[in-house]
Each structure stands twice: as C-alpha cells, then as structure tokens.
Structure 1
Amino acid sequence: MKPMNRRDPYVREVIRFAVCCRALTLVLQALFNFLIPDHAADAFSPPRLSEPSLCDWLSEWLLGGLSHWDAEHFLFIAEHGYLYEHNFAFFPVYPLSVRAVAEVTRWPLQGLLCLRSRLLLSAVLLNTLFSVLAAAALYELGCVVLRCRRMAFLSAVLFCLTPANVFMTAAYSESMFAFLVFSAMLQLEKGQSWTSGLLFSLAAGVRSNGVINTGFLIYSQSKDLALQLQAGAGTVMKLPHVWRRLLRFAASVVLMSAGVFFPFALFQSYAYLRFCNPDPSSEHAVPRLLLQLALDKGYRLAAMNGVKPAWCSQGLPVVYSYIQDVYWNVGFLRYFESKQVPNFLLAVPVTVLGSWATWFYLTTNPQYCLMLGLVRRKKEGRKGEDSDKPVDGFRCSSVFVYVVHAAALLAFGILCMHVQVVTRFLGSSTPVLYWFSAHLLQDCEPLLWKEGAAIQTAASLSEKPSVGSSFLGLFRKEISENPIMRLLLNWRTRSPLTKCILGYFLSYWLLGLILHCNFLPWT
C-alpha cells in the first residue's frame, strides 16, 4: 500500500460530507424540538441556579434537544463537578474538555450566556469537531487496513450517517471516544505503538469500555514477537537472545496496559477519596437547590450524614461497578425480561450486522482465525486469482483483530448491558460495522463505482469552490459526487440488501433525532 497522500481528495470529501451531516442534524433537532412537545420523562433534571436571560432561552430553543438524558449528567458534571455518587458513572475527560472550552469562551459570552448555556454550546461545538475528525480518521484507518480507498471512503461516508447519529452531536462522549479510538488504531497500524497507547489511554478516560482497547496493544506486541520467532525459526537462536525478546515483550505489554488502565484507576481513586474519606465541611459548600434535589431524589452526597457507602468496604472498592449494579441494574443477563422485548428489537439490526460480519470473516479465513492471526501467511489470494496478490477489503488478514474486538463488544453489550445502547456502543467503538456495510454495498452494487468515476470524482473534488459558493451549492455537490447519495437517488433500482443497509442507517439517523431530542426513549 502506498503511503497516505495528504492531498487525497477523498479526505476532503469525507470532511465536507461530515460537516453537511452535522449541520443538517443541528437544524433538524431544533425543528423537531420545536414542533414536538417534550415527553415528561423520569430522567436526571437538575435545577438551574441562575436566572436565564433572553440569550439563554434562545440557546435552549436552538440546542435544548441535545441536552437530554445522559447529556444532563455530562453538563452537570462540567458545571458542578462530581457532586452526587451516581455522577461517577460518567468518566471525566469529556466533561473536563467541555468545561475548558466554556472557560475559553467566558470573556466574549459571559454577559450573554450563563455557564450552563456556554457548556451546552461548547459540547455541541466539540462534538461536531470530533465527529468530523473521527470520520477522517476512519477513512485513513480504512486505507491502511483494508488497502482499498474506495471501501475506506464508503465506510467513512456511512459513519457520517451512523445509526448513532444523535449521540455524535448531543452532549455525549461518543464523538470524542470515536475520534480517539480510530486515531489510536491508525497510529498502531503505522507502527507508532506508544502514540497509540497514549490515545487509547485518553479514550479510557472518556468511556469505561476504553480499557478493552488494551487488547489491541497486547495483540500487536504478540504478533510482532510471533513473527520475529518465526523469522528466526530457520536459524539457530541462542537462549539468552530468546529470553531478551520475551522480557522486552513482557515489559512493553505491562507498561502499555498500565498506561491504558491508569485513567480508570485514577478516577476510581478520586471517587474513593471523595466518598470514603470525605471532608465533613464539603456538604455545606453544596448549593441549597442541589442539596434539596439530593433529598427529594435520594441522591448520595459525599459526607452525607457521615455514613460511608457500601462499596467503600469492598475488597476492591470500585465505584463504577457499584453504580452500574445498584443504580442501573446492569449485570449478566439481568436485562433478559419480557418487558424489555421492545429494546431488544431496537438492537436487532446492529446485532445482525455485527454477527454477520463476524461469521463472514470467520468462514472466509478459518485457518487464519484458528491460529489467532499469529502465523505468517505465505500466500493470500482469492480463488481463481493470483495467489501472490494480497487480498484487499474486508477479507484481508489485518481485519482479524478488529472483528474479534467487535464480536467481544457485541457479546458483552447483549449479555451484560442495557441492550438498546448496543447501537451507539458499537457505532462509536469499532470500525467493523462500517467496513462490513461498505463491503456488502460494493458486492451487491457492482455499478456503485462506474469505470473512471473515481478519477472524475477526484478531479472534481480537487477543484477549489468559488468565493460565492453557498451551503446549498455544497449540498448539491455532495448529491452529485457522493456514491451513497447516488444510490439513494436511484432507490427503486437498488438491490434489497442495499435498501436494508441504507434504510437502517437513515431511519435510525432520523428517528434518533425525533425521539431523543424530545425526551422519548431511544438507543
């Protein structure tokens, strides 16, 4: 594979399409939030401590749909810190970033917007930026792993239309997490293990499932060691030399794993110090309205009545697992109840797609998968093709570790989580859903890329837009040049599988906006 061209026109096309999708999301959520009355949901809703101004009301009208459900927790933490015990279910890097951006905008906006409104505006701006950067990172990752720019481009475009769309714009941590994870995977593919470890470590401070990405670092080191040993199998290797390699491998694995787990351990230690060794005077610093909310809802404060929470006396005092267990009833098979059937139905499309991707890869590369991808493949080719020619696309050997990661996340999400969140859980954590969907589209739509279309598209994308170009002109340009948009414009002639894939992406993209932004249950 040739090195990445920084002037690759597909990169600009991905960024442009991502920006259009984010802008359309903002417009539609404001429209739906205005037209549809909010549902009276039993969700976390802290009181406002300052009297809203006219600009605050305007901000709430334009962006209020993006502050519902868990977004309220992130905004509350960014404003007041980790005040209540259940706040520790939400990791700190994202709310700290939102607060930092809000502080930067304090001087120009202080007289116009209160802190809460600035936090909401900062969250939306950050998520818009991170979702665009995540799409670009996914494209570059696809180019390296899949060795096919067309499929990488299709995958990135599908990511812009992700079924988890609303969470990529609302005050949730999904956009930041996707950007960090895809960037870390890209750096690891380029051989930058320590840079990748740093990005994975930051991701672990954004979401709890970030610690699972330690597997990528361990697998990368294991594969390097296995290939080195295989390369030296034909020569006489001295025992000390082998031991040095093993010790170097063990040291790098331990250090990288510790780096990824460090944010999680540090966060749990902070929770322990705050709730298990509290300062009795800290309760008096809590605003009266928030104290009253704690009394009304039964929220636990640090130093409340001098009684320590039950998790403080556990052998390994981890507040995160305690909160998931006690507050949200998260655990193995706990969600398997008849009343949760609608939520299981919501998760059916992503479950089918993830399971199908795993089964397809396992049956395509059975021997390679049995060897865990640690054995060097001498020849790799499709039947009827030159065996010395490397396989590209979703079938290639470098996809193996991503498929294993996606399968593990899917199994954990179905068995141990609130199953409806599996859509955004996988949509922001693994590229496999987008790679496999792009693979299916290319296989069932042979005319998706007409002969010479890629060259013509690249040439047209390289042209600089005129100074007076408008957003409408930009949107028309997307329709004419984007292969996904061409499929949508020729919907009637498309295959049933194409209709299922695009129908799933677009329906969840739109339904998420309608339901989530009006306090209705969604994924």
Structure 2
Amino acid sequence: MATPLVAIVRLAAASRVLVLTLSLLARLLFHPYDTSASLHPPCLSSPFFPLSASCSNSTTAAISSLAVWDGVHFARAAECGYEYEQSFAFFPLLPASIALLSRSLLAPLVPMLGYRAVLVISGHVLNNVAFVAAAAYFYRLSVLILKDSGAAYRASVLFCFNPASVFYSSLYSESLYALFSLGGLFYLFSCSRTIAMIMLALSGSARSNGALNAGYICFEALLQAYDASIQKKRPMALVTGFLRSTFIFLPFFAFQAYGYLNICLHRDTDELRPWCKAKLPLLYSFIQSHYWGVGFLRYFQVKQLPNFLLASPVLSLAVYSIVHYTKLIHQLFRSTSIREQIIATVEGRLVQAYGSSDVATVLKSEFSTRLNNKKQGNTEVKNRKSVATKATSASLDGNVSTGRIVGDNEDECPLLVLPFILHLTFMTFTAFFVMHVQVSTRFLSASPPIYWAASRILAPARGGSYKRWGYFIIVYFIAYILLGSLLFPNFYPFT
C-alpha cells in the first residue's frame, strides 16, 4: 500500500495529465479569441539559435501558440531577453530556467521545431514537474505544521486540484513559486535554515511576492530570540534572522537594479523615464501602475463587478481561513501563556511528526537527552523541560488508526500557523484592494491556510452546514478547473 506522500505525488501527476488533456481538447474544439500569440516578431538583438527563424511549419506555429497571456512575455524574455520596459514585470527565474532546459536537454529539438516552440515545450515540462514536487512539499509542510496527517492529506488533494490548476500547467511562474516557497517553508520549520533561505530566495526570483516569505524568517527569529532571552542568552537569532531575511529580498532588488542599468543608466536626463528620477527607482511598481493600472482602489469600478464575482469564491475561502485560525490562535493564547507556547514550539520542533515510528523514537530519545544535559539545579530549565516534554508527547502519542498526531480536538491550532495567517491576510488585502481582483484565484493559490481550512470543512463526520459548504467547495474547485481549461488556452479572460 502506497504511503500518503506517494499517493499525493501520484494524484498531482494525474491532475496535471487531466488539466493538459482538457486544455488541448479545448484548443482543438474551439477557436481562440485572440490569435496574436502565433505571431513571432524577430528579437531586437540576435537570438541564441539562429536556426529558429527558418522553422515555420504548422507544428511549430501550433506549439508556439500554446504560450498565451503572460506566457507570451515569459517566452519572449527567455528567447530575446528583457527588451522592453514592461517586460521587467515578469521575473527571471522562469525565463532563465526554460532557456537553460531548451539549450541543454531539449536542444536537439531546436532544428526541427524552432527555438520558440522548444521554449514553450520546456516551460510546460518544467512547470508540470515542478507542480508535482510542490504538491509533495505541500503535504510534508502541512503534516509538520498541523500535526494531523488526515487533514494534511485532504488539504494536499485539494491543492492538487486547485482552482488555478491551468496556470500550474502552462507557461506561468506559479509552479516554480509554489515549489520554492512551500519547499523553503518546509525546510525552515524543519530547522534546515540554509536550504530554506536559498529556496525562499528563489521563490522571490519567480514572483515579486516571494520577497514576502522573509516574514517567516523574521517570525522564527523572534521565537528564537524570545526563547534565548528566557534562558538569559544573547539573542543572536535576531542578527542571523535579519541577514537571512535580507538574502531573501536580494533577488527582487537585484532585478530592479538590472532594470535600472538597462533603462536608466548612460541616458540623457531628458530621455529618462519618470521612475528613473525617483529617490527609490523601483521599476516594478511603476510598470504595475503605468501599464496595468494597479493601485489602491483603482479597480473599484462598476464595470469590474464580474471580475469581483469571479474572485469571490477564493476571497471568501481566504477570509474564512483567516477568521477561523485567528479564533483558534486566540483560544490557544487564552488556554496557555505565550511563554509556554513559544517554549513548546521551539523545543518541540525537534520532533518530525511525519517520520516513522523508529525515527520518532530516536528523535524523542535525542530530545530527552538534550533536556537532561542542562543543569539540574536550574529551575527555568526544569520548567522548560516540563513544557517541552508535554509538546513532544502530544506530537508523538497520536491515534495511528485515525491519522491524528496531536490530541483529539480537531480544532487544535499550533503556534506555527500564525505566520501563515499573517501572510495570507496581507495577500488577501492586496488582492482585493490593490490588484486586478480576478488575479486572486492564482495569486492566493499557493497559500496553505486556504486548503487547511477547506480540509477542515471536508473532514469526515462533520454534518449540517459543514457538509453543505463542503459540497460548495468541491463544486467550486471542479468548475474552475473546467472553466480554466476551456477559457485560458483559447485566450479568453479567466483570471
């Protein structure tokens, strides 16, 4: 019998096959609304593969036209580099990755299909593989945070068939962002901080909001600093946390600096773009405002009401997640002191809840040894041992038959959920008040609390209104997969 992790990997792969099949069928059965994606103007500078210009058969054109909406810009950046000001809205990790794949493993296909077609193929291959890996990290992270294998499994299944699925199987940056953000968070809360720092920095190279993942580093640093202050040690975690957070912001600012060097440097003052003259010349915010009209309340127009309706399901689920977990965190702080929660969190993370019984036994033994090595006469150490041992026992002594790892109360909420809720709150506020609201479906699609909350609603043996809302969630997920697979590949507005 397959383990839950293997089952999730298989489901993730099956979901990609399903979405790709539906998208290809929709492309074959319906005529695209906008056929401009098939146009292929030459690069302003010499392309990497000069042979690509001679490949103009129908197969090449059909493959190249699979890059739609933002995919056109990503493919163009991979082929020609960043030629125009507005192209800097699309971060470099995806273009660089598909260019590397096209020039290495898939290079033999270039003379037959042309470079642009191979770039499109590379993007689809890369993103679908990345999604499967992201789903595996999602499950491992969910088990680590929730300490509930059943809830983690249900949430992971929902992630595999999430409403923004079509974007994870096309030439968009969602898959790479999900892979590196979820993987980075898993390693961060598993105490593999160097790997976490690198992966979270890469998430910032995929999407601009990846820089927000620095908040998780800050949260962990604050926990460690508070714990150190209790033990009357120097809070060095604040310094290391600051340095790690700065590293995660580096890709964003490095890309802005690259844009400044290309567009602003060595130009006459009269020729400078407005953002070049700003005290803090941020190209990204200028592009969003100038070319796409992004800004606070700028999307609040009567004609945009259909887009608000399109985004309402994911926004409603996000608000429910925020309210639900905020209540649970409030109950958590009422039942035990913040000090006890922090001690239990810092010390209890030695236990990997998803491990086998043998591994758990070893970890529990290591945990006890670490506590026993402290000075026996220190009252504070004894208190820490008591608090942390309770957390450890709760993590290890679960009900195996039900998959429950911590306690019997389905509404338990560990402290580590807090940074996820703070992050989701900021993202939801930004999506509703600042961005083009219809983008919320994919903008919030990599946020774990949405699936954790939906998993709670879909939990077995929950009747009444929970069962009714569970049906709505299933219908919503299925409907958006079908709609996305039909509309998006044919260049119709979706999200």
- TM-score, normalised to structure 2's length? 0.80
Question: Which position in structure 2 is the counterpart of 1:285?
Answer: none
Shift of 1:352: 0.7
Is 1:400 paired with 2:418? yes
Is 1:436 paired with 2:436? no
Distance 2:74 2:337 in 1: 40
Shift of 1:410: 0.6
Shift of 1:44: 11
| Letter matched to residue 112 of structure 1 | M
Query: Higher mean Cα deviation, 185-194 or 169-178?
Result: 185-194
Question: Which position in structure 1 is the counterpart of 2:472?
Answer: 500
Question: Which position in structure 1 is the counterpart of 2:48?
Answer: none
Distance 1:117 1:495 in 2: 46
| Alignment map for 1:477-496 (pairs within 5 Å) | 495-496=467-468
Question: Which position in structure 2 is the counterpart of 1:347?
Answer: 311
Distance 2:215 2:320 in 1: 22
Query: Would you say the 8 A contact 2:137–2:186 is kept in 1?
Result: yes
Question: Which position in structure 2 is the counterpart of 1:471?
Answer: none
Query: Would you say the 8 A contact 1:177–1:207 is kept in 2?
Result: yes
| Letter matched to residue 223 of structure 1 | L
Query: Could you tell me which of 322, 328, 348 is aligned with 2:292?
Result: 328
3-state SS of paired residue (1:515): helix
Question: Which position in structure 1 is the counterpart of 2:143?
Answer: 143
Distance 1:392 1:164 in 2: 32
3-state SS of paired residue (1:111): helix
Query: Could you tell me which of 272, 281, 287 is aligned with 1:308?
Result: 272
Is 1:259 paired with 2:247? yes
Question: Which position in structure 2 is the counterpart of 1:190?
Answer: 190
Query: Could you tell me which of 5, 10, 27 is aligned with 1:11?
Result: 5
Question: Which position in structure 2 is the counterpart of 1:47?
Answer: 41
Shift of 1:249: 2.8
**Any unmatched runs of 5+ in structure 2?**
44-52, 342-386, 395-404
Distance 1:45 1:204 in 2: 31
Identity %: 32
Query: Would you say the 8 A contact 2:79–2:99 is kept in 1?
Result: yes
Query: Higher mean Cα deviation, 107-116 or 512-521?
Result: 107-116
Report the number of matched residues: 426
Distance 1:15 1:272 in 2: 42
Query: Would you say the 8 A contact 2:63–2:117 is kept in 1?
Result: no
Shift of 1:91: 0.7
Shift of 1:305: 12
Distance 2:96 2:435 in 1: 26
Shift of 1:72: 0.4
User: Which whole-Å deviations, capped at 9, do the CAs of 1:98-138 have from their partners, x for residues lacking one?
Assistant: 10000013542122110100000000000010000011110
Question: Which position in structure 2 is the counterpart of 1:481?
Answer: none
Superposed CA RMSD: 2.9
Question: Which position in structure 1 is the counterpart of 2:399?
Answer: none
| Alignment map for 1:87-98 (pairs within 5 Å) | 87-98=87-98
Question: Which position in structure 2 is the counterpart of 1:488?
Answer: none
Shift of 1:21: 1.2
Distance 1:164 1:373 in 2: 39
The verdict on how the C-alpha distance between 1:496 and 1:390 changes in structure 2, with shifts beyond 3 A counting, is closer
Query: Would you say the 8 A contact 1:52–1:114 is kept in 2?
Result: yes
| Letter matched to residue 513 of structure 1 | S
Query: Would you say the 8 A contact 2:187–2:193 is kept in 1?
Result: yes
Shift of 1:507: 0.5
Question: Which position in structure 2 is the counterpart of 1:418?
Answer: 436
| Alignment map for 1:350-389 (pairs within 5 Å) | 350-368=314-332, 375-377=339-341
The verdict on how the C-alpha distance between 1:44 and 1:29 changes in structure 2, with shifts beyond 3 A counting, is closer
Distance 2:436 2:38 in 1: 17
Query: Would you say the 8 A contact 1:44–1:69 is kept in 2?
Result: no
Shift of 1:84: 0.4
| Letter matched to residue 133 of structure 1 | A
| Letter matched to residue 165 of structure 1 | S
Query: Would you say the 8 A contact 2:225–2:238 is kept in 1?
Result: no
Is 1:126 paired with 2:126? yes
| Letter matched to residue 484 of structure 2 | G
Distance 1:347 1:24 in 2: 23
Distance 1:372 1:82 in 2: 54
Query: Would you say the 8 A contact 1:146–1:394 is kept in 2?
Result: no
Shift of 1:393: 5.9
The verdict on how the C-alpha distance between 1:369 and 1:413 changes in structure 2, with shifts beyond 3 A counting, is farther
Shift of 1:418: 0.6
Query: Would you say the 8 A contact 1:369–1:400 is kept in 2?
Result: no
Distance 1:361 1:431 in 2: 12
Query: Would you say the 8 A contact 2:55–2:112 is kept in 1?
Result: no
Shift of 1:357: 1.0
The verdict on how the C-alpha distance between 1:42 and 1:335 changes in structure 2, with shifts beyond 3 A counting, is farther
Distance 2:101 2:268 in 1: 32
3-state SS of paired residue (1:224): helix
User: Which whole-Å deviations, capped at 9, do the CAs of 1:243-286 have from their partners, x for residues lacking one?
Assistant: x32xx1332122112101111111111111101115xxxxxxxx
3-state SS of paired residue (2:103): helix
Distance 2:279 2:329 in 1: 44
The verdict on how the C-alpha distance between 1:193 and 1:372 changes in structure 2, with shifts beyond 3 A counting, is farther
Is 1:38 paired with 2:32? yes
| Letter matched to residue 336 of structure 1 | F
Question: Which position in structure 2 is the counterpart of 1:164?
Answer: 164
Question: Which position in structure 1 is the counterpart of 2:490?
Answer: 518
